[in-house]
Structure 1
Amino acid sequence: MTGEPPEPALRGEWRVSHADRDAVVERLNNAAAEGRIDLDELDARLDRALTAKTYADLTPLTADLPPEAPPAPRQPLVVKGGLHGATRAGRWQVPARITAYGGLGGAKLDFTQVVCQLPEIELDVHGEAGGVTVVIPDGWIAETGGVDPGLGGFRDKTTSDRLPGTPLVRVTGTGGMGGAVIRHPNAWERRKLRREQQR
């Protein structure tokens, strides 16, 4: 006897990695965006994906989905506040480049519930009249030296404590008249996140 554990007889018994779970999470989000599964089912499958231990746990979550086409290059995301404002929040696909315009109603980008494997995100903000608010999770950091404060100003309320595997958000642009801010979640947002996680 060598004392080594026996090899699993089937691939399904092998332990999965963080990358394996994240790949399934991304596929499920894409399927929901295409209308293949509804939001309730998405939430249920995401919960199972994030707690999966083996390939046998993960495989059923995408077994009824067609094979994915090779990924197209990700286009920059443009968020425009317009007259009534615009918000990106919850679980959403984060591209490597984002441009946010405050418009008259303001724009908000909330990254606190996203799954993001990118090492870096380029974020170009233009506060205009309504302003731009960016909320990043604890453990993410921002580089904001390339922002012109404009008339409304620019505030960086983030910490410099970066967790391994989290992206750097490189911010450029201008605060405009309405100003721009990048920060971590406030007390109300933290309570909301805890309620979401308990569902």
Structure 2
Amino acid sequence: MTGEPSHPVHSGEWRVSHTEREAVVERLSKAAADGRLDLAELDGRLERALTARTYADLAPLTADLPPDVPSAPRKPLVLQGGLGGVTRAGHWQVPAKVVASGGMGGVKLDFTQAGCDLPEVELEVHGQAGGVTVIVPDGWAVETVEVNPGLGGLKDKVTSPRLPGAPLIRMSGTGGAGGVVIRHPNSWERRKLKREQSR
């Protein structure tokens, strides 16, 4: 007798390591961030991943997820005020970087109803002659230390404290002649938003 098992151990019965459990946890977390899993599914699968003993325990947790390939970076959103001005408002998806150049007509950038799944957003502003106005919801934070006020100045009117999980907008650039204003929605904009939400 050799002391070896009478039948070979199937690979699914092999024991998993801490590193392999952590790799599955990371993949599940990314899938939830991409919207492939809801929070309840994520919690259940994470618990099973952290207590998995064999490959057979881990395999079903990611079987319905696509291969983990790097996602292509989203292109920056570039807004040019030109002669007539431009506004980005309503429902839109915020990319990792936005460039707003006021031109002659100015740029109005309204994040109030925008979708943002990023912890931080890079916003490059160039007030030029028309200026740039940035509107953020209550709870969002804005960092303006990298903005040169220029002739038009920089007016940061954001007063509400940053809420947990809310995005941080890191601004850079210059106010130019038209200046840069960062503020919350005014009373008229808030009333308009309430009317739209009540429909």
Q: TM-score, normalised by structure 2?
A: 0.65
* Separation in 1, partners of 2:34, 2:161: 23
CA contact (8 A) 1:141 1:159 kept: no
Q: Which protein has the larger Cα radius of gyration, Structure 1 or Structure 2?
A: 2
* Separation in 1, partners of 2:149, 2:188: 27
CA contact (8 A) 1:75 1:95 kept: yes
CA contact (8 A) 1:117 1:166 kept: no
Matched position secondary structure for 1:172: strand
Question: What per-residue deviation string (whole Å, max 9, x for no partner) do you get for residues 58-98 of structure 1?
Answer: xxxxxxxxxxxx85320111100001101110011111111
Mark the CA change 1:22 to 1:108 in structure 2 (over 3 Å): closer, same or farther. farther
Match of 2:8? none
Question: Number of matched residues?
Answer: 142
In structure 2, stretches of 5+ residues that fail to align are 1-30, 42-69
Paired letter, 2:171 = V
Matched position secondary structure for 1:170: strand
Match of 1:165? 165
Deviation at 1:110? 0.3
What is the alpha-carbon root mean square deviation over aligned residues? 2.5
Deviation at 1:124? 0.6
Paired letter, 2:172 = T
Deviation at 1:23? 3.3
In structure 1, stretches of 5+ residues that fail to align are 1-18, 25-51, 56-69
Match of 1:92? 92
Runs of 4+ in 1 over 2 A off after TM superposition: 19-24
* Separation in 2, partners of 1:22, 1:115: 13
Match of 1:76? 76
Question: What per-residue deviation string (whole Å, max 9, x for no partner) do you get for residues 123-169 of structure 1?
Answer: 01000000000000000010111111101111000025011111001
Match of 1:23? 35
